[in-house]
Structure 1
C-alpha cells in the first residue's frame, strides 16, 4: 500500500503490556507473517531521533473476517514511552504494510523494537526484534576525570608523606610481615572473593563479573590511608602497604588478567594500561618522598599539616569521591540489588578475612586493623581505568561502572559506621605505640624544633 504517514514511535519501559491476552504459537493467527526493519541493528545517541523503515508482510489470516492489529513497542526504558498500533484496515490485499517510524533515544543502554500481533485476546510475538544500542552523550572527556582524580590522590599522598616516621617505616620494611599480609590479601584473597561473588550474583553477565573482579584487585589508594588516620591505625604500615601494592600491581595485574581473560572468560584481548599504572605508582612514590622532605627541611609547613591533617584529608577525600561520582552519576540508574549485595559483601568479607589472617600471624591489634582497612577500602579510580582499557564496547562500559563506584562508596560508608560505633563506645583510642595520634605527633615535632640550636 506504499508508505503511510510518518508515525512517531516513543518507546519505554513496558514490564507488563497492560493488555489481557494469551500468548499464541507463532503462525496460528495469521500465517507465517514476517517483519523487515531494513537493518540488523540501530545505534543512537541519547536525545537523538532516527527513522526506522518498518515492513510487515505475509499477513494471511486463516479467517478473512478475523479482526487483528499490530503493536510496535520497546520493553526497555532506553527510548520514549508510547506504542504504535497498526490496524487491519491499513494492510493491502497482499497482507503488507510499510511505514516510517521515528525512534527517539532517552537513556543509554540496550533495547529492542518489538512487534506483536493481537487478535481476539491472543498475542503472537515476532521472534527477531530490532536490536537498538543507545550511547551516552558525553559532556566531559574521560581523561579529564582520570587526570584530576589522580592529581587529588597525589595531593593526598603528599599530605600523608609529611607524617611518616622514617625509623618505624624502616622497621616495617626490614621485617615485612605486615606488607606481605597486605600483598596476599590484595592480590590473592580479594580477587578470589571478587571472582566468586561475581559468579554468584551475575552467572551469565561476564562484564559485571569483570567489573567486580577489577574492583577487588585494584590497590586501595589514599582513601585507605585516610581511614587508618581516623581509626588510630598504623599510618606507616598503611602507606607502606599501599605503595608496595601499587608497585606490585605492575606484575600481578597482567598475571591475573591473563588467567582471567583466557581461561575464565575465554577472551584473550583484555589489556593492562601499563603506562597509567606505572606512572601512577611513580608519582605516588615521588609525592611521598616530597612529603618526607618537607617534614625534614620545612618544619613550619609540616607543623600546619600536622594540626590540620584530618580536615585536609577529609577535604581531599570528598573532592576525589565527589568528582568521580559527580561525573559518573548516570551509573546509579543501573543500581540493582545485586550491585548492593556486591558493594556490601566484598569490603566486609575483605575486612574479616584480612583481620583473621593478620591475627593468625600474630600481628598487633593496630596492625591487624590497619591491614583490614587496607583490604576493605576499595579503590574507585583504578578499576574504572582498567575497564576503560578492556574490550568492552559502549554502552556496556558505562553500564558496568556502577560496580566499582558503588562498591567504593559503600566501603567508605561502612568505615564511617565503624568509626561512629568506635567513637560512641569509646574504642577509638590508640592501642599501642604504632597507633596514629596527631596530638602526640605535634608534641614530638615541636619538641624537636625547640631542641634545635
Structure 2
C-alpha cells in the first residue's frame, strides 16, 4: 500500500449534505493476493437516513473489493479488503444510498495490481539483457564496412529503408495503437516502442530465402541499428510523450539514456575486437551465432513458462495489432520501393527490412524503463508481433518452393535473380539479432 491518507473530494447528497471518505489515494496489491485498507466516512447531517454503502471497482477483472463496517457517534469506520485479480489499474468507487432514494458516488482511490516480485523475474530480465548485449557484441564483430561502403555508393536503397524504418513504422505504430488502444495507454506504449525499434537481423536470412539483395539488407540493418541510438529517443521524447501523458505515466528519461548507452558499449566492444583482434573476431562470430540461437530459444521458453499470464492478455485487438504492424510494414516498404523504381531484388530487401522489427530490443526497453504493472502489460505487444511477423514470409517462401517445383517438373528452367547463398551469408557476415522461433527454424 502506497500513498498518504487524505480527504478526497466533496459531493452533495440530494443537495443537502456533503460527505467525504478518508482513505489512501493509491492502493497497490499483488495479483492473487488480498490487502486490507482502513477507511472512514465522517457522519453528515442526513447520515441518519443512510441505508446502504456500496464499494465497487471500475473493473472487477482487475480487482474486487469487500469490506466490514462499524459506526460510532462521529463516523462510519471500516476495513476494505482488495483482492488483486489481474494486472492493471482501476478505480475504487464509493456509493452512498439513502432511505429516500437518494444516491451519490465518487471515485476515492486508484488500485494498482502488480505481480509479486520473484527471483525468476530478475533472472529473466537479466537473461534478456545478456542476450541483447551478446548480440550487439556479435554485431560489432560482424559488421562488414566494405560491403556497406560499396552499397552506399548508390544510397537510394539505404535512404528508402531508413525513411521506411524510422518515419513510416513509428507513425504507423502510433496510429495502430491510437485506433486500437486509445483506452489502454500501456498497450499503446508497447505498440509504439515496437514500431520505433530497429530492424531485426532475421531480415538478412529472409532476404536470402526470398531472393532479395543481401548486400542492401546488411547495409540497412547496420545503418538502422546505429541510427536507432538517436532515433528511438527522438520518437520517445516527441510523439511518445503524448502516450505517456494519456496514461498518466512519467517518461523515463534517465532509464532510456542508460539503455542507449548500454547498447553502445557492447557494439563498440565488438567493433574493437574486429579491428584489433581479427582472429578472435572470426572465432566469436562463429561461436556466437549458434550460442545466440540457443540463448534465444532459452529466453522464449523461459518467457512462456514464467509469464503465462501474457496469453490471458491476448485479445482480437492485440492479435490485429501484432499482425498489422509488420504486415503493413512489408506493404509500405514494397510500395515505396516500387515508386522509387528499385530493382526486384532491392524491393524485396527493403520490404522485408521495413516489416521485421527487433522485438527483443523493444521488450528489453519496455521492461527496463517502465514500472509495474506497465512493464508487464506492454510486453504482450512485441511478443504478439514476434509471433505474427514470419507468417506472410513463410507463406511466400512456400509459394516460391511450390512454383520452383512445378517449373522443374514441367521441364522448364526457372530463371531467378542471382542472390548469395546461405553459406555465403554466413561467410560474409554473421549478423545475429533477436529472431522469432519460426525464423530460426526456417534459417536452419
TM-score where L is the length of structure 2 = 0.71
State the match for 2:386 in structure 1: 408
1:130-149 to structure 2, matched below 5 A, reads: 130-139=109-118, 140-141=121-122, 143-149=125-131
Render the CA deviation track for 1:418-448: whole Å, top value 9, x for unaligned. 43444445499883122x4347889xxxxxx
Partner of 1:76: 59
SS at match of 1:171: helix
CA distance in 2, matches of 1:424, 1:315: 31
| Counterpart position of 1:8 | none
Pairing 1:58–2:37 present: no
- Equivalent residue for 2:200? 221
Contact map agreement 2:94 2:105 (CA 8 A) in 1: yes
User: Secondary structure of 1:132's match?
Assistant: strand
Distance in 2 of aligned mates of 1:441 and 1:77: 53
1:128 match: secondary structure: strand
Whether 1:381 and 2:360 are equivalent positions in the alignment is: yes
Name the counterpart of 2:431. none
Change in 2 beyond 3 A, CA 1:423/1:319: farther
RMSD: 4.6
Is the 1:69–1:85 contact (alpha carbons within 8 Å) kept by the matching residues of 2?
no
Q: Structure 1 residues 276 and 114, CA, compared in 2 at 3 Å: closer, same or farther?
A: same
Q: Deviations over 1:271-312 (max 9, x none)?
A: 4322123135336657988999699899xx97x99xxx9x99
Q: 1:427 to 1:59 in 2, by over 3 A?
A: farther
Q: 1:153 deviation in Å?
A: 3.9
Q: Structure 2 vs 1, CA of residues 38 and 313 (structure 1 numbering), >3 Å: closer, same or farther?
A: closer
The structure with the largest strand share of the pair is 2
Tell me, yes or no, if structure 1 residue 431 matches structure 2 residue 413: no
Is 1:34 equivalent to 2:55 in the alignment?
no
| Bigger-Rg structure (1/2) | 1
Instruction: Give me the whole-angstrom Cα distance separating, in 1, the residues matched to 2:266 and 2:387.
Output: 22
Match of 1:251 in 2: 230
Matching residue of 2:437: none
Q: Given the alignment of the two structures, is residue 276 of structure 1 paired with residue 254 of structure 2, yes or no?
A: no
Helix, strand or coil for the counterpart of 1:362? Answer: coil
For each residue in 1:339-364, what CA deviation from the matched residue of structure 2 results, as whole angstroms up to 9, or x when unmatched? 23322221122111111222233322
Cα pair 2:170 2:195 within 8 Å, conserved: yes
The match for 2:80 is: 101
Query: Is residue 73–residue 84 contact of structure 1 (8 Å, CA) maintained in 2?
Result: no
Q: Which ranges of structure 2 fall in alignment gaps of 5 or more residues?
A: 1-10, 407-413, 427-444
Question: For residues 427 and 290 of structure 1, what CA distance do their matches in structure 2 show?
Answer: 47
Specify the alignment match of 1:7 in structure 2.
none
Q: Is the 8 A contact 2:160 2:337 kept in 1?
A: yes
Q: What CA distance in whole angstroms lies between the structure 1 residues aligned with 2:357 and 2:169?
A: 10
- Pair 1:121–1:285, CA change in 2 (3 A): farther
Q: SS where residue 401 of structure 1 aligns?
A: helix
Distance 1:412 1:287 in 2: 33
Return the TM-score normalized by structure 1: 0.70
Counterpart position of 1:14? none
Distance 1:336 1:284, change over 3 A: farther
Note if contact 1:261-1:269 (Cα within 8 Å) is conserved in structure 2: no
Relative to 1, partners in 2 of residues 1:167 and 1:57: Cα closer, same or farther, differing over 3 Å? closer
Give the aligned partner of residue 215 of structure 2.
236
1:31-430 equivalences under 5 Å are 32=17, 34=19, 36-58=21-43, 68-77=51-60, 81=64, 83-84=66-67, 96-117=75-96, 124-139=103-118, 140-141=121-122, 143-150=125-132, 153=135, 171-203=150-182, 206-260=185-239, 270=253, 271-272=256-257, 273-282=259-268, 318-319=297-298, 321-388=300-367, 390=369, 392-426=370-404
In structure 2, what is the Cα distance between the partners aligned to 1:297 and 1:334? 42
2: CA distance, partners of 1:251 / 1:383 = 15
Q: Distance in 2 between matches of 1:318 and 1:117?
A: 54
Partner of 2:6: none
Offset, 1:376: 0.7
Instruction: Report how many residues are paired.
Output: 401
How far apart in 2 are the matches of 1:437 and 1:358? Answer: 23
Separation in structure 1 between the aligned mates of residue 294 and residue 37 of structure 2, nearest angstrom? 50
Q: Helix, strand or coil: the match of 1:220?
A: coil
Question: C-alpha displacement at 1:127, in angstroms?
Answer: 0.7
User: CA contact under 8 A between 2:62 and 2:89: conserved in structure 1?
Assistant: no
